[in-house]
Structure 1
């Protein structure tokens, strides 16, 4: 493809950090760059504890386990999202309950979520979909623990604070297509000290930090390596630059595509969304994707609604009509920080 869907913005600082980690011989988990990356995430979100882990999916699995969620429990999950939240719920032995989205911002609908609550509901995973924050004030009224999945929303905000700061815990992903990357990686953030301790124990094999090889719970190796964190720590120093770079690409796309039948994803006045991958909707989405791909542009249809997939369909107690509609009409366009304006113009032209 001439234009990939995304690519990382890596500079000399990332290379310098990796060389330093390699020279020290400390390339696995728990190294100094891991700690530095965790501190930067705490400062960015205002959270009191951040634990860097191997992926955003691992972060979801660990926080669910740390909350004691398992067999017999239910967790409400939006029907429009990458599959990781629902898969994480199944991985810990619980049952995902798929919920429709609100058409005004494409995030989980608080009213629809309320209608799905039962005596077995233990949490709601609220996904800040494609950079748009969820309605956390309304979700808090559900009176069940909220887990914020901010994997796609680095740098977004509401009037109440930045993404990553909401709910009993929040998670980030630092996959290579995210605005801030460590190649692969994730993090769990919380202000609850007891929950933070359980998260760290689960991440580090359940091993007592003061008594090596004494295990107080059945944990796993969910750690981020020092090499990955070396990249992540450098990226965190460039957070504002990288987030702003993608926002500028989104602005250029909006200008280029105005009046051509492509609508940008909706946003609420109370939110300041960030750009993960620029997303547009079109009644002729599939034809536009095909035209772009013939021109060497890695444009992609968004995920199918989970409620429309055979694997997950049985977990949707009610129709998820808005999720299905967005999944049929929305598409992503190549997006990365500092994408040249002429590349944006070529991608936009390929759709027409």
Structure 2
């Protein structure tokens, strides 16, 4: 489905980290990676952590969100945002998405707010930023999950720069990767301090083993950050590469019954995994896979899963409909036109025919 784009600089950085002996949760590459993320997003502070899910859990804890609290979460997303809310003891409240961009619908979110609502966790789905102008009107904390949106932007700013805090993921299938890894970004210095404290076992380097809060080991290793630092130096190249792949797919699939995911005129999305919809999605996925291409159906709407449907106070009609018709096609930054052609041909020809 996706391949990391790794080169000589990534390898050189890892060798350098190994030679230095700094391989665990501290080291110069962690610091360099954090500074590069601050520069890319314009945020005052970035804290590198072990995964995007860890980033979500830590920022929720740092904001004091826990038992008795509610967090509004889109119903169309990977499960990590809802799972993170449950992990800190709060309740995810599943919200429908806007069919015009597939991100959380601010109007639907407003209807779900209660005195227990502490935040809206907005997911920049598949590279499309949320409508943060409208979300700001809800007068509730907004946390941006930009895990899939490296390089995306709106007129108001870049993905990773919205809300009281934002998070990135650097999983192997992301545009910018460190294998595993994540980050919490914020402009609030007190929140940044709490995030770092929780991620480092609740202690600071200057205060030894005097734990100030109940923390966890959420740190990113220096080896991981060595890869991530090299990737951030290639940020524009990697973002541009996937957008080029998306344009190749658009050109080849136009007129064949596959509709690219929508986007708003106010947004400049990035491409995480190229996504199309088809009323015959399941048959198309099966056809592609039989012909050797790793096409996949997108996640089911969380509101349709037995584990999570209890957290949907209202029907999530659009999330359900999209999840039943949308599919991903293989996507990576160095994917060539011939690879795109092979995938599209696998979708369009009968199984087993050459």
- Does TM, scored on the shorter chain, surpass 0.5? yes
Q: How does 1:121-140 map to 2 (within 5 A)?
A: 121-140=117-136
State the shift of 1:338 in Å: 1.6
The match for 2:187 is 191
The match for 1:206 is 202
Gaps of 5+ in 2: 349-354
CA RMSD of aligned residues (A): 0.4
The match for 1:178 is 174
Q: How does 1:1-352 map to 2 (within 5 A)?
A: 5-352=1-348
Q: Distance in 1 between matches of 2:161 and 2:254?
A: 34
- 3-state DSSP of counterpart to 2:334: coil
Deviates more, 1:89-98 or 1:206-215: 206-215
Residues 150-170 of structure 1 deviation map (CA, whole Å, 9 limit, x = unaligned): 000000000001000000000
Segments of 4+ moved more than 6 angstroms: none
State the shift of 1:173 in Å: 0.2
- 3-state DSSP of counterpart to 1:30: coil
Residues 110-133 of structure 1 deviation map (CA, whole Å, 9 limit, x = unaligned): 000000000000000000000000
Q: Distance in 1 between matches of 2:293 and 2:69?
A: 43
Aligned residues: 348
State the shift of 1:271 in Å: 0.2
Q: Distance in 2 between matches of 1:292 and 1:226?
A: 39
Q: Distance in 1 between matches of 2:306 and 2:189?
A: 39
Q: TM-score, normalised by structure 1?
A: 0.99
State the shift of 1:296 in Å: 1.4
State the shift of 1:141 in Å: 0.4
Q: Distance in 1 between matches of 2:238 and 2:225?
A: 17
State the shift of 1:199 in Å: 0.1
Residues 229-275 of structure 1 deviation map (CA, whole Å, 9 limit, x = unaligned): 00000000000000000000000000000000000000000000000
Residues 271-321 of structure 1 deviation map (CA, whole Å, 9 limit, x = unaligned): 000000000000110000000110111100000000000000000000000
Q: Distance in 2 between matches of 1:245 and 1:235?
A: 13
State the shift of 1:106 in Å: 0.2
Residues 203-232 of structure 1 deviation map (CA, whole Å, 9 limit, x = unaligned): 000003311101000000000000000000
- 3-state DSSP of counterpart to 1:210: helix
The match for 2:352 is none
Q: TM-score, normalised by structure 2?
A: 0.98
Residues 1-50 of structure 1 deviation map (CA, whole Å, 9 limit, x = unaligned): xxxx0000001000000000000111001110000000000000000000
- 3-state DSSP of counterpart to 1:188: strand
Q: Distance in 1 between matches of 2:204 and 2:227?
A: 28
